[in-house]
Structure 1
């Protein structure tokens, strides 16, 4: 695993299911680097580089099963090539790692954000340099796609609770099995500490980070066209600083003081408290992203809006989760509160500690 949010949840659950049976490697460019997100005292930091990865694979050959928490490791293909053939390799489909399987990244964007992304390649450049950047960009996408597909073909089991993510990539490796599991539990996320608040339908929470797959520009343009008069809270502390600055400029220009950007790091409790102050949560992604945010919002009985073609949305709809539509923003007061109550009950039933531990037991005993 890498130093990321939510991995502490897995470590605690893993030790509860099979105490002392696993070793948790955290890959770092240098072992002297201080961990930012992972607080567990039982992890082992390993230097992950081109010079060390073969030795690490030799060390990993003593284990019967390896669980990769995402594909966000350089030289991962080399690491997997050096493993014993009988080792089971499982992959926690994190999100962006799996979506690199395709070179057609345009499908994850809506028109205005795609135009913005294309414009970045043209920024401060003449014709020759612009063409060169576009060629480099396509080549980079091609290489990422090729590598991601090679990695998927080496996986025995894909682990994710978003079934449609698995369905999306299973054609690459038809032999790859699927197991259901989520890092999230309502208990570990601290959601039981969040009090239900009266819905403030004049306050929207938009997106989850400063990444362009949030399609901020398209969402803000829609709010401008319907003459939205409420506040817009936009978390931008995680991701690209340059992209965040461009979103802020666009938001302030069109909405003035009603556009509220969050650019400083917050604890999870602070983050939930701020989200809880909004009655409407709009995740405008075309692809699966912001799963933790969506789970929290549904638990808080918020009016949640998602793209219906989003794999996360499709999975949750199979559980009978209710989502509002983008068009409902014209008159959000029409959304029925009893549907929001049911959403909370469904989230509690699917993301309980008991459910996660049962799923993890199946993974370990497979």
Structure 2
């Protein structure tokens, strides 16, 4: 564990975590148990044999959220009257929202936390309010009809009800909190929280420039990456001595196929596709060969990848309507505009040694142990 000094908190509250099978969770189990020992119960929305990331521990329980008498199973495991609990929802789904609200309703003293990811709000805004995430056609007429029916049938009531009783919105980018408050009625307060990833903190501190002249495009095959927009923009530039790296290990099959066809037409023989899901260190080793990274998202996404890239001295281009562009500027990183800077003559000039060192120092200050202590010790205050 990366944390060394004993900063554990004494609390009478039980922490009930509702989680999905995500790569961040194993570290989080260790992190919460370090600061709040013996107070955490993690309930995973899968049976163990179907899990890809989350591993068994004494306080991790694999009970799908659609299990009959789910709450009774939780009572049997927690073995308290559940009158004093913190309820932490790690990525909001309809089932986790309903279970969290049920837990809150039966407790006398409780606090409800939304450990925010991104898609759990942005997908709702895209369908309910036509929030612009995509540059080109994503769905057919059938899905459009389904979404209109979902709106008409008020299928989003769970997120609206959840937000109304929410106590804390937990994330590291306050602009997403502002977005929540702009669209949903809530009295929730903002609390700083990020998933501490050991892979980010154990990096080589060398300030040497990366070898190679590759351009990374996005981190997955998701529609929100708007890959075709990036590829078509790059076609207008001189990439004679450069190649493209495309991580496509997950995402909608039809979009991945569309990306593969487009990159072959535009850049035949000058691209590399990462199709296999790799261990994080192996993946980072590959993208560390990229001098440049272009993210096509119009929403906060790929925070873990961006942390690594900025920490490693890469030149990162972001969309200006992505809240991360403003956030990273606010905290002091050198980041660049996809719309403006990509088409300048010096676009593919690497960061200087001073700029790389500056970005590294910004990252180091944000994840230094004192800040992790403050984040975790203030979470339940």
Contact persistence 2:243–2:270 (CA under 8 A): yes
Per-residue deviation, 1:74:
2.7
Residues 97 and 144 of structure 1: CA distance in aligned 2, closer, same or farther (over 3 Å): farther
Residues 351 and 317 of structure 1: CA distance in aligned 2, closer, same or farther (over 3 Å): same
Secondary structure in 2 matching 1:304: strand
Aligned to 2:354: 338
Secondary structure in 1 matching 2:148: helix
Aligned to 2:27: 9
Contact persistence 1:231–1:258 (CA under 8 A): yes
- TM-score normalised by structure 2 residue count: 0.83
Per-residue deviation, 1:193:
4.5
2:257 paired with 1:236: no
Deviations 1:269-290 (A, max 9, x none): 1111011100001111100000
Secondary structure in 1 matching 2:290: coil
Secondary structure in 2 matching 1:23: strand
Residues 51 and 255 of structure 1: CA distance in aligned 2, closer, same or farther (over 3 Å): same
Residues 138 and 341 of structure 1: CA distance in aligned 2, closer, same or farther (over 3 Å): farther
Equivalent residues in 2 for 1:45-84, closer than 5 Å: 45-49=62-66, 51-55=68-72, 62=82, 63-72=84-93, 74=95, 76-77=97-98, 79-81=100-102, 83-84=105-106
CA distance in 2, matches of 1:308, 1:137: 28
CA distance in 1, matches of 2:57, 2:74: 23
Equivalent residues in 2 for 1:19-30, closer than 5 Å: 19-28=37-46
CA distance in 2, matches of 1:225, 1:3: 40
CA distance in 2, matches of 1:139, 1:50: 27
Which of 109, 134, 148 aligns to 1:138? It is: 148
CA distance in 1, matches of 2:89, 2:277: 27
Which of 104, 115, 121 aligns to 1:92? It is: 115
Contact persistence 2:100–2:112 (CA under 8 A): no
Residues 272 and 303 of structure 1: CA distance in aligned 2, closer, same or farther (over 3 Å): same
Per-residue deviation, 1:53:
3.6
CA distance in 1, matches of 2:151, 2:210: 42
Residues 226 and 133 of structure 1: CA distance in aligned 2, closer, same or farther (over 3 Å): same
Per-residue deviation, 1:344:
0.9
Aligned to 1:281: 293
Equivalent residues in 2 for 1:160-309, closer than 5 Å: 160-171=171-182, 172-185=184-197, 187-189=198-200, 191-193=202-204, 197-199=208-210, 202-229=213-240, 230-309=242-321
Per-residue deviation, 1:306:
0.9
| Count of aligned pairs between the two proteins | 347
Equivalent residues in 2 for 1:98-109, closer than 5 Å: 98-102=121-125, 103-105=128-130, 107-109=132-134
- Identify the range of structure 1 (349-358 vs 227-236) with the bigger mean alpha-carbon deviation: 349-358
Deviations 1:272-319 (A, max 9, x none): 101110000111110000000000001101101111221222222111
Secondary structure in 1 matching 2:180: helix
Per-residue deviation, 1:201:
7.0
Secondary structure in 1 matching 2:269: helix
Residues 209 and 200 of structure 1: CA distance in aligned 2, closer, same or farther (over 3 Å): same
CA distance in 1, matches of 2:149, 2:230: 30
| Higher relative helix content | 1
- Identify the range of structure 1 (324-333 vs 289-298) with the bigger mean alpha-carbon deviation: 324-333
Per-residue deviation, 1:203:
1.0
Deviations 1:17-37 (A, max 9, x none): 121121121122xx3534211
Secondary structure in 2 matching 1:65: strand
Secondary structure in 2 matching 1:89: strand
Backbone CA RMSD of aligned residues? 2.5
Per-residue deviation, 1:89:
0.8
Secondary structure in 1 matching 2:169: strand
Residues 76 and 55 of structure 1: CA distance in aligned 2, closer, same or farther (over 3 Å): farther
Task: Extract unaligned runs of 5+ from structure 1.
Answer: 122-129
CA distance in 1, matches of 2:56, 2:120: 24
